[in-house]
Amino acid sequence: MKLKNSLLNQYLLIILLAIMIVPISFLFISIVFFNYLLIDEEPNKYQNGADLEAMWHAEAQSLSGASNEQINEKLIKIKNEYSEASVFWVDETGKTMGKLPENQPVPPIWSTSLTIDFMKKNRGLEADPYTVVSLIGKQKDEGFMVLQVPRSVMLSTGQSLQDRYSFAIILSVVAILAIFIFISWIFFYKIRKRLLRLQRAMSNPTESGIPDSISVEKKDEIGQLEVSFNEMIHQLEDSRIREKEEEMLRRQLIANLSHDLRTPLTTIRGHAFSLKKEELSNKGKESLDLIDNKIGYLGQLIENLLSYTLLTTGKYPYYPERTDMVRLVRTSFAAWYPVFEGAGFQMEVEFPEETFYWEVDPQRMERVLDNFYQNIYRHARKGAYIGVKIDAPLQQIIIEDRGPGMRGESIEKGAGIGLSIVSLMLKDMRLKWETDTGNQGTIIKIRKSS
Amino acid sequence: MRRILYIEDDLEIGSWVQEDLEQRGFNVKWLKTGEGAEKAVIHSDLVVLDVMLPGLDGFTVGQRLKKEAPQIPILMLSARTAVDDKLQGLQFADDYVTKPFHPDELAARIEVLLRRSGLSASNEIKLAHICVNLSENTIIDQRNGEEIILTGKQYQIFMHFIKHPNQILTKEQIYESVWGEQYMEGDKTLMVHIRYLREKIEKNPGSPEIIETIRGIGYRVKQ
């Protein structure tokens, strides 16, 4: 994968930014401040003591031979130019001749010791105010003049700027840090948002049970994840379609198989029936009856076999609904009544006035009962008894016979596929059946599985 | 002569069924495919339709026929498993017989369907001492030749039995087809009507011969 499209790339950039941000931002801000502000700002004329000193000495020299008035005028001029400074001058006799401003504590008469003391006090780099003493005149015998500037106004431009703008600089740094935090938050927020979108897409299946595919906007790692997700969706859809096709094929196969088996059976039955109309011995007629009987049995077996196949693969139709059980059992037994009547069965039915409801598929329930009746009709003829009862308070269906029991021998004993179907169907409907079987008969109870 | 349109692709079964039904007195027109069935149905009293047909399948043909002639009953023959057919097939079919069917059963079902649409083999049905004339809608007591007059509901109930001969009908089934509404458990209306009906048609209403009570299940009229 190209580094350009990688989230790693972006992440590294942010980390780099994090490492560099403090020094770089200071540097950057300083450059911005000093470049812009220094140019705009007037240079401080007090900032350089040497300049002041040179200026003062030059002025003192230029006043050589000047009158008192000329000197005073000059000082006023200088004072106007350097308003922060205070100046005074003393003539050759040691008398203070002029001072600006007027209120400064300058002794009127300068004795030698006073002068030396003044010089001593105002000497050095730390002395405040900064003092320059110049002797007036070329011969330096016309007195002296003094310039005093408070140290506080002698700060360099940079220093004074720093003092004035330090708050702004800190604020800028904080702002830059905030922007950095914001950028990294945006970075993770975006990742989070996209991950959440993917998560939502995965957990929101459509009607088909498969989530929709999603649009891929970027080519980074998450984008690739989205591409893979879409591929997976397509595969799922494909397999779902294949599964449906297979199911269709299976159903078709079963339908065709059933058709192919039943059609010849119908033909055989037809011919047996035609044959029966011919002149036949009693033995011949018995054989034909047996053939007819077996054809019916085979038809039933085919039906059961195919149902069983569908049931075990979960393809048997299942539409559960709230069902009136007394009504269902009564109706289903009504259809079988003539059959048992014809076979000379003694029939006992007991249906209560009060009914109860089960959540079952009526078609399946009928099938279950049909299978039980069929078994009794086929295997319990010897007992010639069938009892169908409903116990409403206990919610159970009871089917009774007096045949040889399920373990007993019957002429038409099969593989028990009918009962396997019964078990599977009841299990799907959350019902269970119990048998109490012996050689005196069988009692079957169908009830809800708890 | 009652005309049956029989649609079946299997030649062996087809020729056998045609022969059998003709021997039973039906006029059978046999088609090997669904083509032309829509024209032929107009000249028929009943359709016997095989589910598995080449070309159009039996369900499609049946639905078209039902659209063309809704009053003609359709009896489906199927060699497929009942699992998927029953649900689809019975929506338009009036009855359903699974292969391998017995010819007697087929004939009996045809007879019942024809009777329901008013095309019985004979117009008269004899039940014990009474004779029901279906074309004139009369019930005659043959002991004295007098007509038995039934009320609307009694007649409807009685005709329901006639149309479902030998079948045990539960009280829910009778009530719902005669009254056309859901049967409520414990409703005695039907029992009362049947009691009055019996008083009119039975020799001895205490031990009925025509409308038989099947204890715990329902009623039956044997023919």
pLDDT digits (tens, 9 = 90+) for B189-217: 999 999 999 999 998 888 898 999 998 89
- Picking from B97, B116, B135, the residue at the C-terminal end of a domain is B116
Q: How far apart are CA B50 and CA B93, in angstroms?
A: 11
User: Using the beta-carbon criterion (under 8 Å), do A258 and B79 form an inter-chain contact?
Assistant: yes
Strand-strand pairing, B95-98 and A130-135: unpaired
Q: Quick one: pLDDT at residue A10?
A: 83
Q: Let me know if domain A49-154 sits in CATH 3.30.450.
A: yes
Q: Which of B13, B20, B80 has the CB atom closest to A255's CB atom? A: B80
Taking residue A89's Cβ as centre, other Cβ atoms within 10 Å add up to 25
- The CATH number of A319-448 is 3.30.565.10
Please tell me whether residues B109 and B173 are part of one structural domain: no
Query: A330, A432, A429, A427: which is closest to A388 by C-alpha?
Result: A330
Q: Which of B103, B167, B186 has the CB atom closest to A353's CB atom? A: B186
Q: How far apart are CA A60 and CA A136, in angstroms?
A: 5
Q: Which two tokens stand for residue A283?
A: 């033995």
* Mean pLDDT for chain B overall: 85
Q: Which of A258, A270, A310 has the CB atom closest to B16's CB atom? A: A270
Q: Quick one: pLDDT at residue A25?
A: 75
Please tell me whether residues B213 and B194 are part of one structural domain: yes
Number of Cα atoms under 13 Å in the Cβ half of residue B66: 18
Please tell me whether residues B94 and B164 are part of one structural domain: no
- The CATH number of A205-316 is 1.10.287
Q: Which two tokens stand for residue A234?
A: 């397509």
Q: How far apart are CA A390 and CA A402, in angstroms?
A: 18
Please tell me whether residues B108 and B136 are part of one structural domain: no
Please tell me whether residues B154 and B170 are part of one structural domain: yes
Please tell me whether residues B81 and B141 are part of one structural domain: no
pLDDT tens across B120-151, in order?
Answer: 656 778 888 888 887 788 888 888 888 889 99
Q: Which two tokens stand for residue B43?
A: 């000249």
Taking residue A292's Cβ as centre, other Cβ atoms within 10 Å add up to 17
Q: How far apart are CA B45 and CA A81, in angstroms?
A: 133
- Contact status, residue B173 vs residue A331, Cβ threshold 8 Å: yes
Please tell me whether residues B158 and B111 are part of one structural domain: no
Q: How far apart are CA B202 and CA B210, in angstroms?
A: 7
CATH code, B81: 3.40.50.2300
Query: A51, A49, A46, A26: which is closest to A162 by C-alpha?
Result: A26
ipTM attached to this prediction: 0.80
User: Using the beta-carbon criterion (under 8 Å), do A262 and B102 form an inter-chain contact?
Assistant: no
Range of the domain at B146: 124-221
Please tell me whether residues B8 and B75 are part of one structural domain: yes
Q: Which of A331, A338, A351 has the CB atom closest to B166's CB atom? A: A338
Q: Which of B79, B86, B186 has the CB atom closest to A262's CB atom? A: B79
User: What is the distance in angstroms between the Cα of A315 and the nearest Cα belonging to chain B?
Assistant: 10
Please tell me whether residues B83 and B180 are part of one structural domain: no
Strand-strand pairing, B74-78 and B95-98: parallel
User: Using the beta-carbon criterion (under 8 Å), do B98 and A335 form an inter-chain contact?
Assistant: no
Please tell me whether residues B45 and B101 are part of one structural domain: yes
What is the tally of structural domains in chain B?
Answer: 2
Mutate to test the interface with A, among B24, B77, B184, B217 (most CBs of A within 10 A): B217
Domain ranges of chain A: 3-42+157-198, 49-154, 205-316, 319-448
Mutate to test the interface with A, among B12, B83, B219 (most CBs of A within 10 A): B83
Element (DSSP H or E) covering residue A350: strand A346-350
Q: How far apart are CA A149 and CA A132, in angstroms?
A: 9
Q: Quick one: pLDDT at residue A3?
A: 62
User: Using the beta-carbon criterion (under 8 Å), do B83 and A307 form an inter-chain contact?
Assistant: yes
- pLDDT tens string, chain A, 450 residues long: the values are 566 678 888 888 888 887 887 777 778 777 877 777 666 666 677 777 788 888 888 888 888 888 888 888 888 888 888 888 888 888 888 888 888 788 888 888 888 888 888 888 888 777 778 888 888 887 777 888 888 888 877 777 666 666 777 787 788 878 888 888 898 899 889 889 988 988 888 888 777 777 888 888 888 888 888 899 899 989 999 999 998 898 888 877 877 888 888 889 999 998 888 888 888 899 988 999 899 888 988 888 888 888 888 888 777 888 899 999 999 999 999 989 999 999 999 999 999 888 899 999 998 999 899 989 988 988 888 889 999 999 989 899 999 999 888 776 654 555 578 888 899 999 989 999 998 888 888 999 999 987
Phi, psi of A168, deg, nearest 5: -65, -40
Q: Quick one: pLDDT at residue A39?
A: 66
- Picking from B116, B136, B170, the residue at the C-terminal end of a domain is B116
Q: Which two tokens stand for residue B67?
A: 């659209």
Element (DSSP H or E) covering residue A357: strand A357-360
Q: How far apart are CA A38 and CA A86, in angstroms?
A: 27
Please tell me whether residues B69 and B139 are part of one structural domain: no
Please tell me whether residues B141 and B177 are part of one structural domain: yes
What mean pLDDT comes out for the span B6-22? 91
Q: Taking an 8 Å Cβ-Cβ cutoff, which residues of chain B contact chain A?
A: 10, 12-13, 16-17, 20, 52, 79-84, 86-87, 98-103, 166-170, 172-173, 185-186, 214-218
- Picking from B116, B132, B167, the residue at the C-terminal end of a domain is B116
Question: To 5 degrees, how large is the angle CA A21–CA A25–CA A28?
Answer: 140
